[in-house]
Structure 1
Amino acid sequence: MSDLRQLQFNNLEAAVDDARQLLASGYVRHGNWSLGQICRHLVLVQDPSVDGYPVWMSLFAPMRPLVRRLLLPKVLSGDSPRGIRTAPMFVPPGNLEDATEVKAFAASVGRLLNHSGSFAPHPGFGRLPREKILEIHTAHAAHHLRHLRAQDVSV
């Protein structure tokens, strides 16, 4: 646990900057996923905010008030639970190229920030204001990127 960075971003652009810095410096993994896998996961989770989530995810709608009350404050405080299995559709493949995925993550963030319509209801938290959706995605990016540490250049 001590190998994880204490990481909190002010916005999604800062998460993109961090991913680009890790790409440039090289990194050490302290989790299961590479930089490319983390970026692909973030894209897979972010893009449905604009495009909509699969219909089956609305089956959890009755639980949203409880999940929003119990889990959302933890997510936003940087205390996201670890080890929760993600839906298979959000799990990245293993053979991804870091530079390609960092670029795709940056494009996905740009798409979110430039989206002028309302966002799709979040599967766990429901319909939220734009600022809150962006805050959730920012905290989510920090949750995953904290598992990577820049390569120590003094080695």
Structure 2
Amino acid sequence: MSELRELRFDHLGAAVDEARELLRSGYTRQGNWSLGQICRHLILVQDPSVDGYPKWMSLFVFMRPVMRRLLLPKVLGNDSPRGIRTASIFVPPADVNDAAEVDAFAKSVERFHAHVGDYAPHPAFGKQSREMIERIHACHAAHHLRFLQPAETSTGVI
């Protein structure tokens, strides 16, 4: 596999812009998921910040201090771990439409931003500020979207 792109988003709107640009330009997959699958995964992980996470995820609450200390800096930095299996409820189906999922991701981000009050505690990192929850989701989006290499432009430059 060739080197993955380095992506960083300051906010979720930038992740939506990147997804729209990949849809427009086309892309080459360097991982297992298409653009549509990545966007569906991001929705599945992000929407519970507004709606609440499944109760069974609170079984791991005792691990939050360790996860905040060890995993959160990696998620927020350029060292986001690869190859960690996700819970089956967050795995996207194979047969999704890229354009529909990019639109759905944009709507999910709008809903996320429109939410009034606190977000649900993150299963791994616990209660966080609105800004930190958005930063976590934006870094998560960058982690996944970096596996898609934009198609070359007419000038041959990516």
Would you call these one fold, judging by a TM-score over 0.5?
yes
Q: Does 1:22 align with 2:43?
A: no
Which residues of structure 2 form unaligned runs of 5+?
none
Q: Does 1:114 align with 2:125?
A: no
Q: Does 1:79 align with 2:79?
A: yes
Query: What does the per-residue CA deviation read over 1:1-44, in whole Å, with 9 as the maximum and x for residues that have no partner?
Result: 54311111111101000000000011000000000000000000
Spell out structure 1 runs of 4+ moving beyond 4 A.
Answer: none
Q: Partners in 2 of 1:31 and 1:128 — Cα distance?
A: 30
Q: SS in structure 1 opposite 2:28?
A: strand
Report how far residue 113 of structure 1 moved: 1.0
TM-score by length of 1: 0.97
Query: Which residue does 1:101 correspond to in 2?
Result: 101
Q: Partners in 2 of 1:110 and 1:46 — Cα distance?
A: 11
Q: Is the 8 Å Cα contact of residues 25 and 150 (structure 2) preserved in structure 1? A: yes
Q: How many pairs were matched up?
A: 155
Once superposed, what is the RMSD of the aligned Cα atoms? Answer: 1.1
Query: Which residue does 2:63 correspond to in 1?
Result: 63
Query: Which residue does 2:145 correspond to in 1?
Result: 145
Query: What does the per-residue CA deviation read over 1:112-147, in whole Å, with 9 as the maximum and x for residues that have no partner?
Result: 111111100100001111110000000000000000
Query: Which residue does 1:35 correspond to in 2?
Result: 35
Report how far residue 66 of structure 1 moved: 0.8
TM-score by length of 2: 0.95
Q: Partners in 2 of 1:123 and 1:29 — Cα distance?
A: 29
Which residues of structure 1 form unaligned runs of 5+?
none
Q: Is the 8 Å Cα contact of residues 12 and 134 (structure 2) preserved in structure 1? A: yes
The percent of aligned pairs where both chains have the same amino acid is 67
